[in-house]
Structure 1
Amino acid sequence: MCKKKKSTDAIDPKPSSRNIRTARSSAHTDISSASRSGTNPSYPSATPPGTGTGTDFSNKTSSSKASTSSSHVSLASLQDSLPENPHIYSFSEIRSATNNFLSKKISSSSSAWHCSIRGKDVAIIQRKLRHSSNASDHVRHRLSLICKSHHSTVIKLLGASLSSSDYIYLVYEFIPGANLANCLRNPKNPNFTVISTWISRMQIAADLAHGLEYIHHYTGIDLQIVHNHIKSSSIIITDPSLNAKICNFGAAELTGEFAGEEIAEVEGTRGYMAPEFLAAGIVSQKSDVFAFGVVILELLSGEEPVRYRLDQTKNDYKKISLIETAKDAIESGLIRRWIDRRLKDSFPEDVAEKVTRVALDCVHVEPDKRPDMRRAAGKISKLFLESKAWSEKMKIPTEFTVSMAPR
């Protein structure tokens, strides 16, 4: 259980970059880097620098003050990055924040609103509760566990409203950006993509892999956590860094979409549903791995998981599966033709083939033959490093400043 705090306001999970820059101890470790790697941050040494022979007392005192100040900054940054107890919002707060649900939705296809509540910039998401009984007790217990989780590539759940018997309102921190599907496929300009370099796509793949690895294995929750909604439209790409953040963490667990490994009346998303889901309605961490593999194939090709093409000879539409086209590209040795043409042929072909093979392993028809996310994330990380080495060799810049604004 999380330790209770006197304040009812949420703590901003992001460390203060301004404070970090003022830290003068060479032993200080950036908290955000520690969060990304999943390791514990290092603390600055209490021993002041410059205390050797020939240093007078005034220098020692000055150095000691600097070290103490640095320690205070580091501890403050660490405190800012720590999770806290979940907020329980009243239904009247949710209704007021969303202007009685008349505020503009984040997207036309979802019940989600960008608004402010208790001084925080948030996204409020409405989801239907599927618990048959003791819904409030179930949600409160799960909420206390999920809200203490924190990772730089997972959008933080701040709390929820439990006032409605039919719906739950989940309150997440708001992250500016655009979803991955829109970044890859701009309907107004099919020839343009924000993610126009190989390195930017591999960075997104690595972020997604490590975020899902954290959800499955490192939350510290004694549960088999399943995200259950991994798809390109539920991944936010931040502007301008082009990092990926996973939306809706904890939503499936809190709404009671499944109990154990049995899924209960959940609609899947076309193209991302694992075969065992389609056949028997079974969901597990391996079904998340399947959806992850599909997203990686999207990143590589720029195409939708499933699309339809008019077959003029039969005067009918033919279904085209991204998984099948990827398999054909590997088998025929035509991977370069299959990779998104908007990358302008600027990518390491051998690495692209390896990434495609990792993705195809993830979408294996048999769940037991798919890797777990620890193994998949390890492979993606290695291939990301190979991609960086390639870009440095080719003198291609790895850092970009871009805008997602319309061209």
Structure 2
Amino acid sequence: MASDLNSGLSKKTFVFGLKVWVLMGIIVGLFIIIILVVLSICLTLRKKFRRVNGKLPLSHVISVSDEIKEIKVDQVSANNHPQNGVFKSLNDKFGDRESEKVLNQTMNGDNSSQSGSFNHLEKDANGSQSGEDCCVKSISAYRSSSHPITAPSPLSGLPEFSHLGWGHWFTLRDLELATNRFAKDNVIGEGGYGIVYRGQLINGNPVAIKKLLNNLGQAEKEFRVEVEAIGHVRHKNLVRLLGYCIEGTHRLLIYEYVNNGNLEQWLHGAMRQHGFLTWDARIKILLGTAKALAYLHEAIEPKVVHRDIKSSNILIDEDFNAKISDFGLAKLLGAGKSHITTRVMGTFGYVAPEYANSGLLNEKSDVYSFGVLLLEAITGRDPVDYSRPAAEVNLVDWLKMMVGCRCSEEVLDPNIETRPSTSTLKRALLTALRCVDPDAEKRPRMSQVVRMLESEEYPIPREDRRRRRSQAGNMEVETHRENSDTDKSDNPDYKPSGLRNQRV
């Protein structure tokens, strides 16, 4: 049969005397060529049509995660003001009524913490204004409303709204005009990720423009991470991502401009020349940070783990509200995932021990970093300071030692003129120590941290109190029995280890 097939294919045809198999090959090749030509024509026409309609080329469409759907920004109205977003219900997420209350306040941009507690030193009555002027020259920043969804947008008056459903698509020329061709005078920050410029849009609104360095795909990676992490979310304590630019190898992100420095500058840097933050101002900044993290961890799906919470990433606006920035290292943690394994990234001194040792990451890593941030604000010390004696190099270890020696009053930043009450300081320290617990499972959720910082006394659930009291009572009974048997009661300095552990 094979011989018959070979002989059939080897027969000559009337077309130039070509054999059958040669003719079949020519026909198949021509058919493939025709298909490719038709496809190329269709793609060319489609690309031209898209350009005519002012849209991005197909190759430039950003791949944005479909999972982030907690807030959908509706079509822009005639005056370009964003409409109210649709929030995911929290009722299925929390069985704890208090947690629901905290997160509702968080999502609505609760202003209850805005007391008149963010003033500078009395020696400079105009210190607040002068601090802002020093930080950003002359043009005031866009001020976020207490309800961030309905606030007037810095994009008002701009012609092009992104087809992604949020933000604005800027051209490279737009951003060159906004920054005077990325002049050095407009640089407000730089690092391994790229350079941040201050810019002014054609409608007069100031913005911060992050130009990512194009180093072997890292810029593309960080660009996608930030777009996926915060492109759709809205919270008064998160820096708002306004838009983006994609042209050739250029990747730029455009944020709202926050004009009053960052927490690191106020605690350790240049902003201290305008005065020191009061206790109330520090707690207000930390409370806003905690509410934003509670929102990222517990109110949206997939949850966002920031991975780089530190004082330099907490921006401060003119009303001394905190705004978390720099989501270049953020990770998305989908439903049903307790953790992910990833390369260890972050800033030394803020990184959780279990993440540093094993690469296992979840939201409790951010809780640890927040605890370090809280200790930094209370003490005015850097998380790691090699200029200090060996026992004081690591802030967390030093503070645990001080609390263990009952010297908690001595850890407060001496630059705070009006000291908080002893109970207030103790509450803040105990909250921080719970956040930096070496056991990640024992760390509180950020919604619980918000409750701790807002409450009048250190909050221990009633059930826990009863259980601890009963355990303490049992320990006392057992200890007295042991003392009577071993004559340890003769030692006046002896204390049961169980009771000692209950203190902190």
Q: Same fold (TM over 0.5)?
A: yes
Distance 2:279 2:109 in 1: 31
Alignment of 1:209-228 (within 5 A): 209-218=290-299, 220=300, 222-228=301-307
Letter of the 2:259 counterpart: P
Match of 2:200 in 1: 116
Aligned-pair CA distance for 1:205: 1.8
Match of 1:324 in 2: 397
CA contact (8 A) 2:231 2:241 kept: yes
Letter of the 2:151 counterpart: D
1:300 aligns with 2:373: no
1:156 to 222, 232, 240: 240
Distance 2:365 2:202 in 1: 36
Residue 270 to residue 334, structure 1, CA distance change in 2 (3 Å)? same
Residue 108 to residue 3, structure 1, CA distance change in 2 (3 Å)? closer
2:289 to 182, 188, 208: 208
Aligned-pair CA distance for 1:97: 2.9
Distance 1:380 1:130 in 2: 42
Distance 2:298 2:292 in 1: 10
Letter of the 2:243 counterpart: G
RMSD of equivalent CA atoms: 4.0
Letter of the 2:171 counterpart: S
CA contact (8 A) 1:36 1:151 kept: no
Distance 2:321 2:109 in 1: 22
Aligned-pair CA distance for 1:118: 4.9
Alignment of 1:83-98 (within 5 A): 85-98=166-179
Distance 2:257 2:369 in 1: 24
Aligned-pair CA distance for 1:93: 3.1
Aligned-pair CA distance for 1:77: 9.9
**Once the two structures are superposed, what CA deviation does each residue of 1:72-106 show, in whole Å capped at 9, x if it has no partner?**
xxxx9974369972223233433443334334311
Distance 2:392 2:212 in 1: 31
Distance 1:293 1:205 in 2: 10
Match of 2:74 in 1: 3
Aligned-pair CA distance for 1:306: 0.5
Aligned-pair CA distance for 1:160: 1.8
CA contact (8 A) 2:304 2:332 kept: no
Match of 2:98 in 1: none
1:238 aligns with 2:309: no
* TM-score with structure 1 setting the length: 0.65
Per the alignment, in what secondary structure is the counterpart of residue 225 of structure 1?
Answer: strand
Distance 1:184 1:127 in 2: 28
Residue 251 to residue 94, structure 1, CA distance change in 2 (3 Å)? farther
Distance 2:73 2:446 in 1: 27
Match of 2:13 in 1: none
Distance 2:247 2:429 in 1: 46
CA contact (8 A) 1:236 1:244 kept: yes
Gaps of 5+ in 1: 14-33, 42-75, 312-316, 387-407
Letter of the 2:251 counterpart: I
Per the alignment, in what secondary structure is the counterpart of residue 295 of structure 2?
Answer: helix
1:382 to 455, 471, 477: 455
Aligned-pair CA distance for 1:340: 0.7
Aligned-pair CA distance for 1:267: 4.1
Aligned-pair CA distance for 1:115: 0.5
1:198 aligns with 2:271: no
Distance 1:223 1:171 in 2: 23
Distance 2:342 2:287 in 1: 28
CA contact (8 A) 1:302 1:340 kept: yes
Match of 2:430 in 1: 357
CA contact (8 A) 1:180 1:236 kept: yes
CA contact (8 A) 1:184 1:193 kept: no
1:346 aligns with 2:431: no
Residue 205 to residue 310, structure 1, CA distance change in 2 (3 Å)? closer
**Once the two structures are superposed, what CA deviation does each residue of 1:200-257 show, in whole Å capped at 9, x if it has no partner?**
2221221111111112222x3x212111221101112223x32222223x4434999x
Residue 35 to residue 157, structure 1, CA distance change in 2 (3 Å)? farther
Residue 384 to residue 320, structure 1, CA distance change in 2 (3 Å)? same
* TM-score with structure 2 setting the length: 0.54
1:287 to 365, 368, 371: 365
Aligned-pair CA distance for 1:132: 7.4
Residue 385 to residue 282, structure 1, CA distance change in 2 (3 Å)? closer
Match of 2:189 in 1: 107
Per the alignment, in what secondary structure is the counterpart of residue 341 of structure 1?
Answer: coil
Residue 273 to residue 9, structure 1, CA distance change in 2 (3 Å)? same
Residue 37 to residue 81, structure 1, CA distance change in 2 (3 Å)? farther
Per the alignment, in what secondary structure is the counterpart of residue 342 of structure 1?
Answer: coil
Per the alignment, in what secondary structure is the counterpart of residue 306 of structure 1?
Answer: coil
**Once the two structures are superposed, what CA deviation does each residue of 1:40-64 show, in whole Å capped at 9, x if it has no partner?**
99xxxxxxxxxxxxxxxxxxxxxxx
Letter of the 1:2 counterpart: V
Aligned-pair CA distance for 1:369: 1.9
2:107 to 23, 26, 38: 38
Aligned residues: 314
Q: Percent identity?
A: 23
Residue 255 to residue 361, structure 1, CA distance change in 2 (3 Å)? closer
Distance 1:295 1:40 in 2: 22
CA contact (8 A) 1:200 1:242 kept: yes
**Once the two structures are superposed, what CA deviation does each residue of 1:135-189 show, in whole Å capped at 9, x if it has no partner?**
69x949x847733322111111112223354x63221111110110111124696
| Structure with greater Cα Rg | 2
Residue 244 to residue 79, structure 1, CA distance change in 2 (3 Å)? closer
Distance 2:321 2:415 in 1: 19
Match of 1:126 in 2: 211
